[in-house]
Structure 1
């Protein structure tokens, strides 16, 4: 007997048959869940095919995500590197500001126990050679700076003003060969003269007898004699004592306490007895109007004579 669909049935009969079969199956599945197992089996059977069909789209999406993610990561890394560079530059600036703040605090603390009026100044230029050791500060006559005014840093005496302008002033360092400063040994009060040698780490203490009580490590302070430097400011520490037989005086070398070749901020000091007076040609303090700034050579001579 031939199959049903091969007995001359037409297309319309076959269509009606499949429609009725489909409706029967849907009703059976909806009302009685009769095809649940069949659907699960068919779903499992076609899963590999569904995955294979979806694989190209998944691969293309993954590749696109990778390219986009790589580009975003590269861009983000570059942005982070630029930001890190900016932050490091700012950090360097903050470190500089922090160091400057610490120096200023130390500088101001060094004069906290003194009654002298002081003014913070910053170095504009430095000339350190064997024949001329001077610095220029950013304070001048309009700030009350006067010739002969003491200059110190956080550690000790640096020098004195020799020339003034409206906005700047030139100071001669204690290490200059033309500078001499009356000092005394802090331990025993022995008075002497500290002269510059042209080297920022070396002073010579003149006219000390061979039998004088001077020891390595002694602190040398300003004596206050000469009227320019106030007393008891640290000047130097003795580093070498050579007693020379047959010579009237010993050879004594001291190292300045001030950081002559490193300090950036300094203090201009108005001693109590100086007031607002100026230094005259012979080194005495005058109460009258400030004298005009002298020529450098003349001032050097006065500086060496009076300290």
Structure 2
């Protein structure tokens, strides 16, 4: 019977209407049967797209962090260039040749304010050599090794620097207080001509610091009638707590370019 039906259908196409009807009936069944596979493919595509988006987002975040780091470095370099330019401009105004040095270590405990710089005996650095920055006096060299030197800051409690009031030439000594933002003068009488805002410069006495370099600005003058001397606080002009490069003033010789 099957063979006969196949033969008749092949020759005359008598079974095509029946096949069309059965195909129409089977179409929803095929759709329902293939639905899980289609859902799986769609889920795979969605998952793949989401994974790619996450990876691309992460790549963009990583790239943004790299660019931000580079931008911060550029900002730091710009600030450093400005600072070095100020330092070099200051060196051009000096009457003596200078050596530029960078800090390698800092020790700012209450009893010792010391910094270490990357210049030493091989650079002709000597003990007692004055050290300044672009704004004012920083300190003086205390010890020297072949490749480094130790500088005692003027804020050190054991350090005193001869100064004079730029306005009238009044002389005294400014001592460190153990604080990088304050020096003190305790040897001027109550009737001394010194005022808040007066500029203090090196007097040249003592032979360590050449005369005329800025040291600080008078912040306050406290007078106690029961005492013979005033208590004077001075704000250092040098960046004692923030310095990164310094100038070492040389004795004699020609200016270095």
Q: Matched residues in 2 for 1:151 and 1:235: separation?
A: 11
* d(CA) in 2 for partners of 1:243, 1:85: 57
Question: What is the DSSP-based 3-state SS (H/G/I as helix, E as strand, rest coil) of the residue aligned with 2:141?
Answer: strand
Partner in structure 1 of residue 170 of structure 2 = 190
For 2:126 and 2:164, the matched residues in 1 are separated by 25
Q: What secondary structure is seen at the aligned counterpart in 1 of 2:68?
A: helix
Q: 2: distance between equivalents of 1:164 and 1:218?
A: 35
**2:252 aligns to what?**
275
**1:99 partnered with 2:79:** yes
Deviation by residue 1:42-62 (Cα, 9 ceiling, x = unmatched): xxxxxxx9xx98x97998876
Counterpart position of 1:178:
158
Match of 1:210? 190
Aligned to 1:88: 68
Partner of 2:218: 238
Deviation string, structure 1 residues 1-28 (Cα, Å, up to 9, x no partner): xxxxxxxxxx8xx97xxxxxxxxxxxxx
User: For 1:136, which of 103, 116, 135 is the aligned residue?
Assistant: 116
Residue pairs, 1:3-22, within 5 angstroms: none
Which residue number in structure 1 is paired with residue 19 of structure 2? Answer: none
Q: TM-score, normalised by structure 1?
A: 0.66
> How many Å apart are 1:167 and its aligned residue?
0.4
Q: Counterpart in 2 of 1:108?
A: 88
Question: Aligned partners of 1:212 and 1:155: how far apart in 2?
Answer: 26
Which is worse superposed, 114-123 or 163-172?
Answer: 114-123
Specify the structure having the higher radius of gyration (Cα): 1
Indicate the RMSD between aligned Cα atoms, in angstroms.
Answer: 3.0
- Whole-Å separation in 2 of the counterparts to 1:157 and 1:268: 10
1:257 aligns to 2:237 (yes or no): yes
How far did 1:266 drift? 1.4
Write the distance in 2 (CA, Å) between the matches of 1:118 and 1:108. Answer: 10
* One of 98, 101, 123 as aligned partner of 2:103: 123
Match of 2:179 among 199, 212, 236: 199
Shift of 1:87: 2.3
Aligned to 2:16: none
**Structure 2 CA distance, aligned partners of 1:126 and 1:138?**
12
Structure 1 gap segments, 5+ residues each: 1-10, 16-48, 277-307
